[in-house]
Amino acid sequence: MTNVNTSAAGRRERVLRAAVRQGLLAPDRAVLAAFVDLDGVAASVRALHAAFPGAVSVLHTFAAKANCLVPVLRELRALGMGCEAASAGELAQALAAGFAPDRIVFDSPAKTRPELARALELGVAVNADSFEELDRIDAVLARGPSSSRIGVRLNPQVGGGRIAAMSTATATSKFGVALDDDGNRRRLLDAFRARPWLTWVHTHVGSQGCPPELLAEGVARAVAFADEVGRTTGRRVSGIDIGGGLPVDFRGDDTGPGFDAYARRLQERVPRLFGGEYRVVTEFGRSLLAKNGFTAALVEYAKTSGGRSVAITHAGAQVAARTVFMPSDWPLRITAHNPDGSPKAGEPVRQDIAGPCCFAGDLLARDRPLPLLAPGDIVCLLDTGAYYSSTPFHYNSLPDPAVHGVRVGPAGDIAFEPLRRAETLEDVLARTGG
């Protein structure tokens, strides 16, 4: 892939400078804000669509967990995406964003009876996570038919990636029906034989930390099982939901490994997926949004402690929980800027970048070499378009920051649009029963 370090950094700087000029980031009143590059999102969606062969029927859905803001989902719908929802809340957000029910996939591992009934009534696609859930679907369909595509999630048990918490196809994963457990293959085949409405197979190996080769191996096992259903039951599986999970390179601005490389890997490992017999659904999230956003926070104080320089900023666990609690698995690149948004110059000084939360571990980076930060400076947390500010952690009752969409016009003019307004203290009181 082409290295885009210079252009990506320059674009971020122009956006940050414009945000400061327009008061979207300002001392005492807008000390933290997140930005989503909507032009970049559109480019990522185009790359995803272009990566898969046009002869194959593919529905690309966006994993709403990666950025559940309704205006973001609405933008993705306009770009031709479907939506994958992993909870009743995400299903409600998908519907509010205008997704047609037949372009929504409901994947929660803990669907209640009312949630299943509503999804099936609407015609939302459902992937059952267990034999018990198939029984619940039996009961719902006994009351009336549904237009939903219904599948079962397989755990292909191909092993885990580098981050255990993000690996969903281990031998003991909580997700799906464990394919190699004693008796499960026979029970699955019996389930397809007995249920004419069961016509899809779903798998998802994991996400960050899982290499494309591992993802492709899980998909290969799902396709092999679908073939087995056809051979042994006379029933045809009509589609394979291959999940998402393509990892993101957080070390620089390159966007590898890329959808095109992953699609080629799939074609090499499991060519039958592209043979036209099966329809395909994907569920990418982080790989579409992460690189298309950053979070900016003001430095409120700077101090030294035990000879270590410490910058106290307004971004911490409330917008970067994974980085704070699992820094080795979720490191973030951080850039230093002057109060006007321009890059901060000076010799790098090893310093801690701390957040506002009231516990000692609320650190975005430890001993990180950056130009020495001072009150009023700005730090930018890169690659935070997915998760992070769109999924806040309400520690210390800190208000959720504003999230701004960004578009750059042909003449280089920068336009912001609200994706989520900043919470006020009154909002915090309202959500805490005040």
Domain boundaries, the chain: 5-37+292-431, 107-284
Strand partners, 84: 63, 105
* Dihedral in degrees, nearest 10, Cα atoms 352, 293, 52, 171: 40
Rounded CA gap, 201 and 233, in Å? 15
Superfamily (CATH H level) for 107-284: Alanine racemase (3.20.20.10)
**Fold match between 5-37+292-431 and 107-284?**
no
For residue 181, what are its two tokens?
A: 């457990």
In tens, the pLDDT along 150-161 reads 999 999 999 999
Question: Would you place residue 254 in the very low, low, confident or very high pLDDT band (cuts 50, 70, 90)?
Answer: confident
Peptide bond into 257 cis (omega under 30): yes
Residues 6+ apart with CB under 8 A from 420: 69, 71, 390, 400, 402, 403
The two counts, helices (H) then strands (E), for the chain are: 12, 18
DSSP state of 385: S
pLDDT at 425 over 60: yes
Name the region of 339 (left: φ>0; alpha: ψ -120 to 50; beta: rest): alpha
Residue-level pLDDT at 7 = 84
Rounded CA gap, 99 and 227, in Å? 31
- For residue 38, give the nearest of 419, 405, 411 by alpha carbon: 405
Q: What average pLDDT does the segment 173-179 reach?
A: 95
Residue-level pLDDT at 257 = 83
- H/E segment holding residue 264: helix 259-269
Residue-level pLDDT at 1 = 29
Strand partners, 416: 406
pLDDT at 255 over 90: no
**Residue spans of beta strands (DSSP E) within 12-112:** 32-37, 58-63, 82-85, 104-106
* Dihedral in degrees, nearest 10, Cα atoms 129, 131, 135, 141: 50
In tens, the pLDDT along 17-59 reads 999 999 999 999 999 999 999 999 999 999 999 999 888 999 9
Rounded CA gap, 225 and 237, in Å? 10
Question: Would you place residue 355 in the very low, low, confident or very high pLDDT band (cuts 50, 70, 90)?
Answer: very high
Share of the chain above pLDDT 70, in %: 99
In this structure, are residues 355 and 363 in contact, taking their beta carbons and an 8 Å threshold? yes
What does pTM read for this prediction?
Answer: 0.95
Residue-level pLDDT at 50 = 96
Please name the amino acid found at residue 393. Answer: F
DSSP state of 422: P
May I ask the CATH class of domain 5-37+292-431? mainly beta
Q: What average pLDDT does the segment 88-100 reach?
A: 98
In this structure, are residues 37 and 286 in contact, taking their beta carbons and an 8 Å threshold? no
Q: What average pLDDT does the segment 1-22 reach?
A: 79
pLDDT at 314 over 80: yes
Please classify residue 385 by burial: count the beta carbons closer than 10 Å to its beta carbon, then call 0-12 exposed, 13-18 middle and 19+ buried: buried
Question: Would you place residue 406 in the very low, low, confident or very high pLDDT band (cuts 50, 70, 90)?
Answer: very high
In this structure, are residues 173 and 220 in contact, taking their beta carbons and an 8 Å threshold? no
| Least confident stretch, 47-61, 247-261, 324-338 | 247-261
Rounded CA gap, 300 and 377, in Å? 8
- For residue 344, give the nearest of 389, 384, 311 by alpha carbon: 311
In this structure, are residues 32 and 296 in contact, taking their beta carbons and an 8 Å threshold? yes
Residue-level pLDDT at 269 = 96
pLDDT at 333 over 90: yes
Residue-level pLDDT at 23 = 97
